Amino acid sequence: MPTTPDERLRRYLEQIVPQPTLGQMLEEQPDHESVPAVPTAPRAQVRQARTAVEKLAVGRELTPAERFTLEAIVLPDQRPAIDIVDGDFAVDHPLWSHFAGQAIRAVLRRVITSIGRIELPGHPTLPYGGTGFVVGPGLLMTNRHVAEIFAAGLGAAGLSFRPGLSAGVDFRRERGRDGSLFLAVRQVVMIHPYWDMALLRVDGLTAMQAPIPLSLRSPEELAGRDVAVIGYPAFDPRNDAEVQHTVFGGVYNVKRLQPGKLTGSGLIASFGKSVTAALHDSSTLGGNSGSAVIDVATGHVAAVHFAGHYLVTNYAVPARELSRDARVVDAGVVFAAVPRPEPEVWADWWDIADPREVATTTTTAAPSRDRVTLQPDGAASTTVITVPLEISVRIGTAAPVAPPPGAVAAGAVVDGALERAVEPTHDLDYSSRRGYDPDFLGVAVPLPKPTKPKTLARLDDGDHVIAYHHFSLAMHKSRRLAIFTACNLDASPQRKRPEPGRDYTRKGLGGLGGNDTERWFTDPRIPQIHQLPDRFFARDQGAFDRGHLVRREDVAWGTTYDQVRTANGDSFHTTNCSPQVAGFNRSDGAVNWGALEDVVQRQAGKDRLSIMAGPVLAAGDRVFTGVDDTGDVQVQIPSEYWKVVLAADGDRLQAFAFVLEQDLADVPLEFAVDAPWRQHMIAIRELEAKLGTLRFPKAMHDADQSGTELGEAVRASAALDLVAS
């Protein structure tokens, strides 16, 4: 995948516009006044775009202005977003003028009325969830990640609406039109365990909302075909705002037709696995999730759009793949020809989602829509069913189905032992906690002071500092996350392993069996509503890691084995947990966030460190709807974290400050949180200004190593950028 914006833009342009054609387009662009749908660029911008093309051809770096100008001229011309008004559209773009031809226009007008916006009535933060389209009698198809905004469960059994939430579909929502055609979603029929696809039941569909047949042709067969993505693109803050405004005319959330081409298939991560998705190059945004990718030659659904990389490609669930699943066929989805489902396709994933279901399928040319589910009680039996064919089905004890790699069903037996979620061993006598020691380094380093102390959770004695073994923290009571943590680290061998021969592994210290997993626990000293329970992280559909703010390895030390064990256990309080995307504290062979202490330790040559850390609690943090012990809960998820590592050289303090932010430029999933992280070194004064919620002690300001020789050595060793003031 391209690694720089210029390389990404160059490859994208090569994909959608051959270079000679691009040059001709830029030469002719000033004459486009007669084409109102294509913005006319000033001659200076055209010259700048032409210069950008020449520089890309020889590998020279573009200026931001050149990159913007080239995108703003090419994208609206080559991959426009066309308004749909009163169920119809007008095409003035020369490249797509054939869409106005009688045959294609008739095909698209027929399907437009069957595509609607997934509404979220009463949702506290989201106006709508994405796009859906009719695929059978009373049946809508959309993305799994759209349905999971308002629905709970996985598979086809036991699905429900999240408490207090509902959904509907509006088949209008057009630009400049106030009319609405809203139907309530009555039932969540399916949330597919493998593909990013869901089925919803609605009542009240008319002949105007006829099912759109799904194609049985593969992405490879359809590669190079013209397609139209029809949906409701929303403004996406991850992409260039000015380019978006140019392509979409500054108008979002309304029905659009976005032409492009199918380009084959490719791999993408989806819900913890790698899937082979269909690829297309239409201009899509968040809000297009669940859009139908229509083959304009036939009017069939070639794929279901679910993700996109800006200026790279877009990903969609191939319709042909859905035809292979008997459960999808039996749900009533209409296909363009007779589907031939494969009995065992994705059986491992279905077994996890609906473990007690035994589905019977036939291989006849026309599968019945009447679904029969048999529940054996363990004893072999023979059942005769007339449907109207007489079929003899022998049922014995169900053979175990191996789950997909890395997946374990609830209550499953793994390697002969039951997997359990167990609280790690921890001290139940909270009076023994001493917390962070400000004199640990031999130089006094007091805790930071909050600028708004009324926002913090309080102990019974009124103190906001919550002490544990070797660390302390303070909780923001409405965000339910720590506003800061502070810990002491002693990395000397005699403190890390004070009693040789004992088990110092993570499971050994936690008292866990070989197949057990850790269940985090709340702190009884503060109100439950001021902290997040383990259930929030266990029921988040895999969106986040349980991220240690204070590293377990940093505080698991002592003069006895019991001290190491109890300190280890304290790190599993949910007060020390912050929802973090995958990769935050996981080691991947490079210097990751959790290893910054190690870098400072090597450079400073010290066994003893003090570390302060926490999330950047920004007002604009995105809201995630999850579940706590009382029901649904909305939690703002931080996109940045900070850390200050402190060491002492004799009586001289040294402070190294860092921030970690998400780089959202290459996030593939629309409306998703997952993203790579980017690390920076930052001056203490800049960090304090960035947070606005804490005041660091003068000793830390005076000890700031950003810009010093030692600070540069740390930065170089960790391959970090320096945040300029």
CB 213 within 8 A of CB 111: no
Return the closest-CA partner of residue 193 out of 327, 333, 343: 327
91 close to 97: Cβ distance less than 8 angstroms: yes
- Which residue, among 292, 362, 333, 300, has the nearest Cα to 131 in the 3D structure? 292
DSSP 8-state code for residue 249:
T
Token pair for residue 717?
């060793």
Nearest to 533 by CA among 645, 626, 456, 622: 626
The residue count of the chain comes to 725
Question: Is the C-alpha dihedral spanning 720, 721, 722, 725 positive or negative?
Answer: negative
CA nearest 575: which of 625, 623, 523, 538?
Answer: 523
Helix (H, G, I), strand (E, B) or coil at 508: helix
Helix (H, G, I), strand (E, B) or coil at 662: strand
Which active-site residues does the annotation give? 548
143 is in an annotated binding site: no
Burial of residue 699 (number of CB atoms within 10 Å: 0-12, 13-18, 19+):
middle
Residue type present at position 468:
Y
Residue type, 690: K
Beta strands in 242-312 (DSSP E): 256-270, 273-280, 292-295, 300-309
Residue 20, classed as helix, strand or coil, is helix
SS3 at position 473? strand
User: What's the CA gap between 340 and 343, in Å, rounded?
Assistant: 9
Kind of pairing between the strands at 198-202 and 182-191: antiparallel
Angle CA 185–153–279, to nearest 5: 80
Q: Who contacts 641 (Cβ-Cβ below 8 Å, separation ≥6)?
A: 549, 578, 580, 584, 593, 613, 614, 615, 616, 659, 660
Which SS3 state, helix, strand or coil, does residue 223 take?
coil
Phi/psi for 666 (5° steps) reads -115, 25
Instruction: Report which secondary-structure segment, H or E, holds 603.
Output: helix 596-604
**Cα gap 251→233, rounded to integer Å:** 9
Buried b (16+ CB within 10 A) or exposed e, 365-398: eebeeebeeeeeeeeeeeeeeeeeeeeeeebeee
Q: How far apart are CA 450 and CA 679, in angstroms?
A: 25
Phi, psi of 209, rounded to the nearest 5 degrees: -110, 60
CA 177 vs. chain centroid, Å, equals: 33
Distance CA(389)–CA(327), nearest Å, equals: 20
Can you name the residues that pair with 395 across neighbouring β-strands? 381
Contact assessment for residue 619 and residue 627, using Cβ atoms and an 8 Å cutoff? no
Q: How far apart are CA 600 and CA 605, in angstroms?
A: 8
How buried is residue 436: exposed, middle or buried, by Cβ count under 10 Å (0-12/13-18/19+)?
buried
The DSSP code for 325 is -
In terms of Cα–Cα distance, which of 593, 707, 580 is closest to 645?
593
Q: Which positions ≥6 away from 632 have C-beta within 8 Å?
A: 162, 163, 164, 165, 625, 626
Q: Return binding residues.
A: 585
Binding residues for Mg(2+): 585
